[in-house]
Amino acid sequence: MATESNVGGSILKAQPVKHRPRVEDFKSTFKLFIKNRLAFVGFVIVLIYFTITILDYVYPSYLGVKDINTIASWVPQLSSGVPSGPTLSHGWWYIFGETLYFAPIFPVMLAALKTDITYSILIVLTGALIGIILGTMSGYFGKLYDEVLMRVTDIFFSVPTLVLAIAVTVVLGKSLQNVVIALIIIWWPIYARLTRGVSLSIKSNKFIEAATAAGSSGLRNVFVHILPNVLSVVFVQFSLDLGSIIQLFAALDFIGFNEGSPLLPELGNMLTWGTSYLVSGIWWPIVIPGIFLLIFTVAINLMGDGLRDVLDPKLRR
Amino acid sequence: MELRYFILRRLLLLIPTVLGLSIFMFILIEAVPKAILVTPYINPHSRIPYIIQEANALKILGFNYPPPIAYLFYLDRLLHGNLGLMSMPGYPNSVAAAIVDAFPNTIQLTIFASLLSIAIAIPLGTYIGARPNSIADQAGRVFSLTGYAIPAFWLALMLQIVFGKNILLGNPLGVLPFSGSFSASAIPNPTPSWFVNGITYPTHLVIFDALIHGDFPLFVDALKHIILPVLTLTYGILAGILRFMRAGMVDASNQEYVKTARSKGVPEKLVIKRHIRKNAMIPTITVMGLLVAGLLGGVVLVEYVFAYPGMGYLTTQGILSYQIWLVIGTTLIFGLILVLTNLIVDVVYALTDPRIRY
Amino acid sequence: MMQNTEGKKSESETYLRVEKLKTQFFTARGIVKALDEIDLTIRKGEIYGLVGESGCGKSVTAQSIMYLVPDPPGRIVSGKIYVGNVNILTGLEQLAKITVKSETNVKIKRNKRMIKRHNYLLSRIRGDRISMIFQEPTLALNPVIRVGDQIAENILLHLKVDMANAILRREMSTRKDYESFVQKALSIGDKDARNKAIREWCESYSISDAEELVRNIFLTYQDPETVVKSIEFIVNERKSGTNINRLSRAREYYLYQQRLFEATLNLMEAESGKNQDEIDRARTALNEIKKEGSSFLSFRIINKFIGKRIEAPLRDAAKRRVHELLNLVNIAEPERTALSYPHELSGGMQQRVMIAMALASNPQMLIADEPTTALDVTTQAQILDLIRNLNRQMGSSVLFITHDLAVIAQMCNRVGVMYAGNIVEEADVNTIFDNPKHPYTIGLLKALPRADRIAGKMVKLETVAGSVPNLITPPTGCRFHPRCKFKMDICEKKKPELDDLGDGHKVACWLYQEPGGSGK
Ligand SMILES: Nc1ncnc2c1ncn2[C@@H]1O[C@H](COP(=O)(O)OP(=O)(O)OP(=O)(O)O)[C@@H](O)[C@H]1O
Ligand code: SF4
Ligand SMILES: [Mg+2]
């Protein structure tokens, strides 16, 4: 603040402006968010993908087959040959052409969302939960715990994510379930770090001091004061991570962890199928599922960016 | 002179991290059934019974002791450069030897991709960041967002389809080879002494070895092979740098010292070049470590898709035939590369930002 | 009669003249009418104080004069700002078309080409004729550039011609000098005395190779001709030689750039005048000068690659000047300070560096926007002393902005009082304190504790009742009327002009002028 050199000056001095926190209520936040058109478009696309996923669970028969968990349902006899390209002459399901065993790409792709999105959410959610709990504890237990947590996360961060995921999955055994477990194992440190930073900064904040002075217990502080503040930051990270995880999951499936489930509709799997036709110039089994995946990741990034702008203007990039 | 101590201190701090890394790797190894661990140590054609061979192998590896002691055995082996054994046709028996053959290719890809992306992203980010919300900025935003969102392995496949030789009929762009690090047909006949089992000497990098030995056609062929992998890797990291560079530029442009520079009469071009850009680089440098981590992940996928014989390709081959020692070995090496990169990033950061006290 | 001549005199001494300056911010909530056609003149060598409540537009005034109003959201809408004889708002209308549809819907269409040319104009005025000292030195210095280089940047931008002249002049005289000197030196019989003389001579011309020269002269002791030759060789080749030739070429180039600037300025002025003949003439003149440029093509290409080497003597000179400047602002170790980064200096030191930077190119006008607010009390006093002394020494004008009336009383010759984007009263400092006219000024002064009033016991300080109006929807007429005790009917309807009551005491208030008439 300016110095108080004399009284005459002080009446002319600037009054500190009080900024109202952006997150006052959900409604105004959402209004701000919608204002960013790109973010809103991203949000709508993500919503569509989620709806399809839910539809896969509650009403799978819209895809026209009994079991949507294997492409064998679409093609009773698994015959080999060259899949045909995008066409409308065999109905809507064939609009994007065929892939392995002449399975139609479009419905298989819709079925694939069930696997990809469910697993991605599962991974990020579990990882975030573990990370938040361990990270928040830093603000509560203090120095030694914090030091240990930091060193452990350091080690996780010292190996490239994908490489670590490969190593852990190989150790656990090559299956998609183990890919999920491996990704959870390597994902929690991100949230632990994030939460720790926020919780430590909040701990040093005035209002926690005040709350402690008013007789509020430590653990109570964690849940009443720290967690709600952590959540808005985590929420942004969560939405952005969903995009990375779905890529990573598909990538791991693609490079050879699909041994137990080679016929499962899953985007990475679909690309694997596509590669077997690559040299013969058959592009659609690769291009179409990839675009489908890309649209989702772009949309979720747009949404995440928009969310960050709204929830945490400080982090604005 | 102070910088020397800073680097020395950082190097010392590296020791616990690397030890932690080795413990982590050991924990992973411990989690694998012993029978799988000893597989490459057993000679199926030997007359010695399996049980005895297995017991011997476990003893050599130290697994007959409790885990902490077994870890010391592991550490001792690591310090002697022994990363374990593997058995894959066409590869050496020793994991370390296989990694030595593959390592230069991975480094080559990552360095080429980093240099290319830095060379593009810094000027481009400067340009875009100096004109926020212009059309160029919007285009740059879409470009970098897509780079973030695009799965590296799918981009690699797309580039194969578009530029791969003989993939699409009548595609004028399809001129580049898309598999391996050189074409079999480009190997000089008779095979020279520096070309053994598909590995070139002395650098193991076909591009450079061809140059060293004056084999120009092979050099061109190898160069063509590296284009698509490098482009794929470049896009991802380029997007990252661009994004941070732009943000840094916008942030720095709003600082008071830029006003000072203008008040001195510094021409607009110099304001950007001298006063804004240098400050904008600082946040960009701090995220370089993260970007390199992504790049090292990407290199695995890219090498897999382009069958480029680096460590990533080696790892994926190891997955298929369940080579635990190989996978853990490459993981450890990837970790070491990342740790060292972070060290370099820190030093560069300290050199760029005078406010950092070392 | 007497007043008339005085008026004329002050007119001729004016360095900065602001006319009807109108600056606005086009924000999402509406248009902030930050400056409402203010007039301001600052004479050569005076310290002009600008006071007013927070948010009344002092900083916006300063930024407008430097054309540094952050854009978006702000823009100077109209007005003229003469710095010396140059209107830095020349061609203002062509820079951007502002279409106001409603308070919150304003379209601004910028003309990139014109803005580029205007930036060129500004880069020649800012820092050269007019400099600025900012409130927060910590933020105002670039954290990643050594302070010496930041100061030198200013020198190298604006003093190239002067420095090149000085260097060349010195080199030329060196050449003439040394021949006669060598003769003199050789005539000294005593070895040591001669040695000393030579050394002194060399040092007086700052020839770094003094030692070598001396040795050369010894070596060729018997043969005066060789001595002359060897010194000639050293002076020509090693010290100056090609570099000096290049430097004189560089000087011609800088002079050409200056002519180019003046011609561009003429064209801009003509274009704002809309007299086609004049425009054509100015354009032809500019093209003439541009033609000269082709003869510098090869130089420019060389300069691109070895510019640093050509300018090496300039850089040396700039470095020396940096040290001088740091000395001038009372920094104890100029050499060391010049090499440090801003964060290594204390706030007071940083502000000294800022002042050194602002003074680097001998500007005739200095703007100080609350230069001491961010500093502690003792440092404040030192910095104020420094500014006052420098103003006396260098004779440059100062626009001193503060919210502190006590500082105004100490520092300034004349004072302008601002209220809500208007200058409401202007007079010399004694008049303002002894005989304030505007109700707002009177209110402000009542709030100031005075020796005579403090002599009593507890003094209850009055403040001006009410608060600063919102400048998106400012009060009509006199913007002070909602807070004014003397409000009349006309005050709400019509804006009072800043009117001279005599002796340069100007007030904008209906109490002192006839509504309807011009008031004169
Ligand atoms: N960037 C901006 N955007 C919108 N309005 C602005 C901006 N900068 C200044 N203003 C407005 O212009 C008016 C004058 O502000 P200015 O900063 O000149 O005040 P000041 O007299 O310097 O006050 P202080 O003593 O606090 O420095 C204020 O009403 C402010 O709201
Ligand atoms: S013009 Fe009227 S309202 Fe304004 S200061 Fe003078 S008397 Fe007061
Ligand atoms: Mg101000």
Closest CA to A254 of B316, B297, B314: B316
Q: Where is pLDDT greater, at B23 or C195?
A: B23
Residue C235 confidence (pLDDT) above 50: yes
The residue type at B20? G
Residue A9 included in any domain: no
So what's the pLDDT on residue B234?
Answer: 94
- Overall domain count for chain A: 1
Instruction: Look at residue C256 in the predicted model and tell me its pLDDT.
Output: 86
What gap in Å lies between CA C509 and CA C424, rounded to an integer? 7
Q: Answer yes or no: are the C-beta atoms of A194 and B55 closer than 8 Å.
A: no
pLDDT given for residue A119 in this prediction: 92
Which residue range(s) make up the domain with C332? 145-340
For residues C113-139, give the mean pLDDT.
88
pLDDT of residue A276 exceeding 90, the answer is no
| pLDDT tens column, C373-397 | 777 788 788 888 888 888 888 888 9
Domain for residue C285, yes or no? yes
C126: domain CATH number is: 3.40.50.300
Asked if the structure places residue A5 within a domain, the reply is no
| Residue pLDDT, tens place only, C58-71 | 999 999 999 999 88
Ligand 3 centroid distance, CA of A176 (Å) = 62
Contact call for residues A2 and A13 (beta carbons, < 8 A):
yes
Q: Give the C-alpha separation, C310 to C330, whole Å.
A: 32
Q: What token pair was written down for B16?
A: 């616990």
User: pLDDT (tens digit, 9 = 90+) per residue, A180-206?
Assistant: 999 999 999 988 988 888 777 776 665
CA B226, B231, B233, B238 dihedral sign is: positive
**pLDDT surpasses 50 at A295:** yes
Model confidence at C207: pLDDT above 60: no
Report yes or no: A281 at the C interface, CB cutoff 8 Å. Answer: no
Q: Give the pLDDT band (50/70/90) at residue C258.
A: confident
Tokens linked to C379: 């440092």
| Same-domain check for residues C150 and C136 | no
Contacts of A161 in chain B (CB under 8 A): 293-294, 297
Domain co-membership, C238 together with C369: no
Per-residue pLDDT, C455 = 42
pLDDT digit string (tens) for A128-167?
999 988 888 876 777 888 888 888 898 898 899 999 999 9
Q: Which residues of A touch C444 (CB under 8 A)?
A: 8, 11-12
Angle at B17 between CA B11 and CA B21, to 5 degrees: 135
Tell which wins on pLDDT, C13 or C211: C13
Contact B331 A255 (CB under 8 A): no
Note whether residue C445 is domain-resident: no
pLDDT of B258 reads: 93
User: What pLDDT is recorded for position C519?
Assistant: 40
**Residue spans of chain B under pLDDT 70:** 1, 357-358
C481 Cα: distance to centroid of ligand 2 (angstroms)? 5
Looking at residue A20, what is its pLDDT? 42
Same-domain pairing of C149 and C131 = no
Domain-located, residue C315: yes
> What pLDDT score does B18 carry?
92
Closest residue of chain C to A11, computed from CA coordinates: C463
Q: Which atom of ligand 1 is nearest to the CA of C403?
A: 25
Which two structure tokens, joined as six digits, stand for C288?
Answer: 């003439």
Average pLDDT over residues C358-364: 85
Q: What is the pLDDT of residue C5?
A: 40
Lowest mean pLDDT among C262-271, C367-376, C458-467: C458-467
Q: What is the pLDDT of residue C370?
A: 87
The pair phi, psi for residue A162, each rounded to 5°, is -65, -40
Residue C48 pLDDT > 70: yes
Taking the CB of residue C446, how many other CB atoms lie within 10 A of it? 15
Share of chain A above pLDDT 70, in %: 81
Atom of ligand 2 nearest to the CA of C438: 5
In order of their start, the domains of chain B are 102-323 (1.10.3720.10)
Residue C431: pLDDT over 50: yes
For residue C307, being part of any structural domain is answered with yes
For residues C232 and C135, membership in a common domain is answered with no
Percent of chain B with pLDDT strictly greater than 90: 42
Q: Which protein residue has the closest C-alpha to ligand 1 atom 17?
A: C59
Number of domains in chain C: 2
Q: What is the pLDDT of residue C315?
A: 84
- What is the pLDDT, as a whole number, of residue A285? 86
Are C58 and C369 a contacting pair, CB within 8 Å? yes
Do the domain assignments include residue A1? no
- Which residues have a beta carbon within 5 Å of ligand 3, which is an ion? C 59
What pLDDT was estimated at residue A17?
Answer: 35
Q: What angle do CA C309, B124, B303 make, to 5 degrees?
A: 115
Averaged confidence pLDDT in chain C: 79
C99/C45 Cα distance (integer angstroms): 40
Helices C347-359, C312-328: crossing angle, 10 deg rounding: 130
* Residue A315: band (very low, low, confident or very high) from pLDDT cuts 50, 70, 90: very low
**Phi, psi (5° rounding) for residue C51?**
-120, 165
Q: Is residue A178 part of a domain?
A: yes
Q: Which of B32, B160, B316 sits opposite A171 (nearest CB)?
A: B32
**Domain at A259, CATH number:** 1.10.3720.10
Same domain, C167 and C316: yes
**C132 and C150 both lie in a single domain:** no
| Burial tier of C18 (Cβ tally within 10 Å: 0-12, 13-18, 19+) | buried
Over C418-475, what HEC string results? EECCEEEEEEEHHHHHHCCCCHHHHHHHHCCCCHHHHCCCCCCCCCCCCCCCCCCCCC
Q: Is residue A272 part of a domain?
A: yes
Whether omega before B202 lies within 30 degrees of 0, making that bond cis, reads yes
**Centroid of ligand 1 to alpha carbon of C25 (angstroms):** 9
The answer as to whether C302 is a domain residue is yes
To test the pocket of ligand 2, the residue of C509, C512, C513, C514 to mutate (highest count of ligand atoms within 8 Å of its CB) is C509
Tell me: do C204 and C247 sit in the same domain. yes
Q: Tell me, yes or no, whether C272 and C369 share the same domain.
A: no
Residue among C119, C136, C157 whose CB faces B268 most closely: C119
**Ligand 3 mean position, distance from CA C403 (Å):** 9
Which residues of B, range 302-331, sit inside 8 Å of A by Cβ? 304, 315-316, 318-320, 322, 324, 327-328, 330-331
Residue B94 Cα to ligand 1 middle (Å): 71
ipTM for the predicted complex: 0.89
Interface test with A, best of C54, C135, C403 (most A CBs within 10 A): C403
CB contact under 8 A, C124 and B265: yes
pLDDT in tens, B126-182: 999 998 888 898 899 889 889 888 999 999 999 988 998 888 877 888 788 888 888
Interface contact A11, partner C, CB < 8 A: yes
Helices (H), A142-266: 143-157, 161-172, 176-203, 206-213, 218-221, 227-252
On whether residue A114 sits in a domain, the answer given is yes
Q: Is residue A86 part of a domain?
A: no
Residues of B in Cβ contact (< 8 Å) with A271: 153-154, 157
The confidence band for C176, taking pLDDT boundaries of 50, 70 and 90, is low
- Residue A137: give the domain boundaries: 39-60+103-316
For the cut 50, the answer to whether the pLDDT of residue C1 exceeds it is no
Q: Which residues face C30 on adjacent strands?
A: C27
Greatest CA separation for chain B: 87
Among chain A residues, the shortest Cα distance to B24 is held by A155
Q: How far apart are CA A82 and CA A100, in angstroms?
A: 8
Separation between Cα atoms, residue B231 and residue B343, nearest integer Å: 26
Q: Does the beta carbon of C56 sit less than 6 angstroms from any atom of ligand 1? A: yes
A97 is a domain residue: no
Distance from CA of C333 to the nearest CA of A (A): 28
Q: Is the CB of C70 under 6 A from ligand 1?
A: yes
| C409 in the same domain as C375 | yes
Q: In terms of domains, do C290 and C390 share one?
A: no
Q: Does C329 touch chain B (CB under 8 A)?
A: no
> Alpha-carbon distance A149 to C314, whole Å?
57
In terms of domains, do C376 and C399 share one? yes
Query: Is the pLDDT score of C328 beyond 90?
Result: no
Backbone angles phi, psi at C30, to 5 degrees: 140, 180
Q: Report CB contact under 8 Å: C143, B355.
A: yes
Decide if C69 contacts C60 (C-beta within 8 A). Answer: yes
Name which of B268, B290, B264 is nearest B277 in CA terms: B268
Residue-level pLDDT at A11:
35
Q: What is the per-residue pLDDT for C11?
A: 47
C277 and C335 inside one domain: yes
Ligand 1 atom closest to the CA of A12, numbered from 1: 25
Ligand 1 mean position, distance from CA B259 (Å): 16
